[in-house]
Structure 1
Amino acid sequence: MQYQYTLEDLLHLMAQLRNPEGGCPWDLKQTFASIVPSTIEEAYEVAEAIETEDFEHLHEELGDLLFQVIFYSQLGREQCYFDFPRIVDTLVRKLVRRHPHVFPSGELHGENDSSSAGEAEVKQNWEAIKAEERSAKGEAGALAGVTAGLPALTRAAKLQKRASQVGFDWPDINGVLDKIEEEVAELREAVASGDQEHAGEELGDLLFSCVNAARHLKADPEAALRYCNRKFERRFAAVEMALSSEGRRPTDASLEELDQLWEQAKMEEGRELDG
């Protein structure tokens, strides 16, 4: 299929948007920092499209995310930090270096022999190479280089994975579940004491342990919580719809009635899944 525009056109468009003469006023006033929230939002919209299997619109969401990279590359070029070709070159070099089982010559277009490395070996080599890269950057310690700006659940999972790689981990999920129960008990004690600050700390410990459970189940905690959020929205919308059919709103119903409607929504959802 032939398309009208190419990556070169996108780079040209970005340069025009940032052109002081005739460019877009909004784009001209943006900085690296000001577009970070948009970048994060676009990444989550890509994740949502994939998780909801909205493949009809996924290419559009990916385009929005790509535009963020193009925007950063234009800002970098203007300030003589880097440009788009350097971004691509750095990425390709890194991926070739991290895939010696695919590129044993260390060159993208070099003479490459096929490798029989299994998935476990590939993962082990990947982590070893990343550790070497962190060491070269002066990042010491098993937990070095885990970005502080990550969502807290994701960062917790990464920190736990790093610790696990050096042997600091529960042997199975049963120990994690016991730890969750322990943290729940400690949270109850903190709440009973009336010390909200301590209770908040204990809640953090509980969340951290729940992330550990997700990791042992090989589940992404962020994805799991996003799924739960969508489920909550869907069921609460059913509660609102049931009340709306009677000309009422949730504020017009008692907690007992809301809970009953919630259970009905769960049952109906279960029947639809079974059907």
Structure 2
Amino acid sequence: MTETAEAALRRLLDIMARLRAPVGGCPWDREQSFETIAPYTVEEGYEVAAAIAEGPDMPALLDELGDLLFQVVYHARMAEELGVFDFAAVAAAIAAKMVRRHPHVFGEGDTPGWEALKAGERSARAESGTLAGVPTALPALTRALKISKRVARVGFDWPDPDSVLEKLAEEVAELQAEIPGGAPERLADEVGDLLFVVVNLARKLDVDPEQALHGANAKFIRRFNAVEVALAKQGLTPADAGLPRMEAEWQAVKREEKA
């Protein structure tokens, strides 16, 4: 017989409590903290995204969503041990937030707008300013996208993609000017500016930069693997072949993909 959602969640909470138990628990789980578990939480979020991108692969998605839920349960259990909040408080808080953010669904009247609602929540948390509350732990491309969206909502934005391309050319020129000097901090600063403008270009084109880069990474891996296979058939490794031969094989792979 299939468990109800309530029963399954209760069993998971009990398992987590047992793993963290001072007597009879798992030594590794007992030693963990918010700081040591946080990287796993981020990783599981990416695993969920990967399962969705691959089809989606529903069996994998089922598994990865379970792993992600376990991360929430883990953090909630550690907070409960400290006497600050528990899983029920986490669930109640997000439920209340969703109801508050959708008054047109759960209450009367029209929603004042997502950004206005979130601004009110930031104010309640004593956070002020357009960019208050943008998470620092996000991947850099995703955080840049959130920052640029936030300021665009208040009018600080380029008017169109062409104007972003002009800014991109300007940033490329500034980077080129710093290359002869080779000062690491200046190069890092200019590369950062260049990437930030690229993120804004992606936003203007309605492209998610994080997903676009994931796709570019996957494409590069696929093509380079094909280059290695082609070289192996000739009895060569990439190091043996050299750049000109590898570039020739790379172009051949691209032509084959487009055929």
Same fold (TM over 0.5): yes
Q: Distance in 2 between matches of 1:76 and 1:34?
A: 14
In 2, are the aligned partners of 1:190 and 1:196 still within 8 Å (CA)? no
How far does the alpha carbon of each residue in 1:29-84 deviate from its partner, in whole angstroms, 9 at most, with x for none? 11111011111111111111112222331111111111100101111111111100
1 CA distance for matches of 2:161 and 2:73?
43
Q: Does 1:23 align with 2:11?
A: no
The 2-side partners of 1:85 and 1:227 are apart by 38
Name the % identity.
51
Aligned residue for 1:216? 204
Counterpart in the other structure of 1:67 = 70
**2:163 — aligned with what?**
175
> 2: distance between equivalents of 1:189 and 1:51?
39
Give the secondary-structure state (helix, strand or coil) at the position aligned to 1:229.
Answer: helix
Superposition map of 1:123-142 within 5 A:
125-142=113-130
Work out the CA distance in 2 between the residues paired with 1:3 and 1:245: 54
- Hey, what does 1:2 align to over in structure 2? 2
The CA deviation at 1:3 is 4.7
Provide, for residues 83-114 of structure 1, a one-character-per-residue CA deviation record: whole Å limited to 9, x for no partner.
00000000100000000110115xxxxxxxxx
Tell me how far apart the structure 2 counterparts of residues 57 and 269 of structure 1 sit (CA, whole Å).
Answer: 28
Shift of 1:221: 1.1
Residue 260 in 1 paired to residue 251 in 2?
Answer: no
CA offsets per residue over residues 207-231 of structure 1, 9 Å max, x none?
A: 0000001111122111111111111
Give yes or no for contact 1:142–1:163 (8 Å, CA) kept in 2. yes
Could you tell me how far 1:147 is from its partner in structure 2?
1.3
Task: Give the Cα–Cα distance (whole angstroms) in 2 for the partners of residues 195 and 83 of structure 1.
Answer: 50
- Match of 2:93? 90
Structure 2 CA distance for aligned equivalents of residues 19 and 74 of structure 1: 11
What CA distance in whole angstroms lies between the structure 2 residues aligned with 1:61 and 1:269? 31
Q: Which residue number corresponds to residue 194 of structure 1?
A: 182
Instruction: Supply the distance in 1 between the matched residues of 2:183 and 2:15 (Cα, whole angstroms).
Output: 56
Q: Runs (4+) of structure 1 moved beyond 4 Å?
A: none
Q: Are the aligned partners of 1:45 and 1:61 in contact in 2 as well (CA < 8 Å)?
A: yes
Contact 1:11–1:70 (Cα < 8 Å) also in 2: yes
**Is the counterpart of residue 184 in structure 1 residue 186 in structure 2?**
no
Structure 1 vs Structure 2 CA RMSD: 1.7
Query: What's the counterpart of residue 48 of structure 1?
Result: 50
Contact 1:46 1:58 in 2 (8 A): yes
User: 5+ residue gaps in structure 2?
Assistant: none
Alpha-carbon separation, structure 2, partners of 1:205 and 1:19: 49
The answer (yes or no) to whether the contact 1:179–1:209 under 8 Å persists in 2 is: yes
Task: Give me the whole-angstrom Cα distance separating, in 2, the residues matched to 1:91 and 1:196.
Answer: 44
Return the alpha-carbon distance in structure 2 between the equivalents of residues 10 and 218 of structure 1. Answer: 39
Flag structure 1 segments of 5+ consecutive residues without an equivalent. Answer: 106-114
Q: Is the contact made by 1:70 and 1:84 (CA closer than 8 Å) also made in structure 2? A: yes
Deviation for aligned residue 1:196: 3.2
1:109 maps to what in 2? none
Describe the SS at the equivalent of 1:193. coil
How far does residue 269 in structure 1 lie from its aligned partner after superposition?
Answer: 2.1
> Greater share of helix residues, 1 or 2?
2
> Separation in 2 of the partners of 1:2 and 1:263?
54
Residue 254 of structure 2: SS of its match in structure 1?
A: helix
For residues 261 and 82 of structure 1, what CA distance do their matches in structure 2 show?
Answer: 58
**In structure 2, how many angstroms separate the alpha carbons of the residues matched to 1:136 and 1:23?**
39
Give secondary structure in 2 for the equivalent of 1:170: coil
What is the CA–CA distance in structure 2 between the aligned matches of 1:224 and 1:266, rounded to whole Å?
Answer: 18
Are positions 1:165 and 2:153 aligned together? yes
Distance between the aligned counterparts of 1:241 and 1:81, measured in 2?
56
Q: Number of paired residues?
A: 256
Looking at structure 2, the residues matched to 55 and 267 of structure 1 have their Cα atoms a distance apart, in angstroms, of: 33
